[in-house]
Amino acid sequence: MASEVTTRPLTEDDRELLRTATLANLNWTGEARFGPRDLDERPDLRHYTGFRPERGDLGLVAERDGQSVGVVWVLFLDAHDPGYGFVADGVPELSIWVAPGARGRGLGGELLRAALDEARRRGVERVSLSVEAGNPAVHLYRRSGFRPVLGAAEGTSAVDL
């Protein structure tokens, strides 16, 4: 029988998981365009691996048999250290990753919905993200209400909560 997927809140101790997820997202085409050293050396990438609850950041980890199979995280990167999907201060940026063997079965959609529900519950009014042209993840984002933001960097979308 297939074992169940459970979720738990993301914590500051999950840096390794965020490194894995960020690298996989950056290399979503399958080509190794970025390596672990890029994550350490490039501030524009490294900040995606720093989860800071005291700033308002929120996130969820999906686990099966004690292994992480997905993560969604929402970071309040501001104008001094903007992410690729920066829209405005106070609009956090969402990232999501599901392990290859667990994709295409609704887990990403569930994690996304749970993260947006939690953000709404906390009074967040808008959430953004960045997705490269051609990434099929865009279908999931559109289905979840994200729309392109005019005037922001190409690939930036946001949803009003």
Q: How far apart are CA 36 and CA 46, in angstroms?
A: 10
State the nearest-atom distance from the C-beta of 61 to ligand COA, in Å.
13
State the nearest-atom distance from the C-beta of 44 to ligand COA, in Å.
15
Cβ closer to ligand COA: 143 or 147?
143
- The residue count for binding ligand COA (CB under 6 A) is 20
Q: How far apart are CA 99 and CA 69, in angstroms?
A: 5
State the nearest-atom distance from the C-beta of 123 to ligand COA, in Å.
25
In a 13 Å sphere around the CA of 30, the CA atoms on its Cβ side amount to: 3
- By CB under 6 A, residue 153 contacts ligand COA: no
Binding residues for ligand COA restricted to 10-69, rule: CB under 6 A: 24-25, 28
Binding residues for ligand COA restricted to 104-143, rule: CB under 6 A: 104-109, 131, 135-137, 139-140, 143
Cβ closer to ligand COA: 56 or 155?
155
Q: How far apart are CA 32 and CA 61, in angstroms?
A: 24
State the nearest-atom distance from the C-beta of 71 to ligand COA, in Å.
9
Which strands sit side by side in the sheet containing 58-64, from one edge to the other?
6-9, 58-64, 67-75, 93-98, 126-130, 156-160, 147-148
Contact 141, 130 (CB under 8 A): no
Q: How far apart are CA 99 and CA 81, in angstroms?
A: 28
Site for ligand COA, rule CB under 6 A: 24-25, 28, 96-98, 103-109, 131, 135-137, 139-140, 143
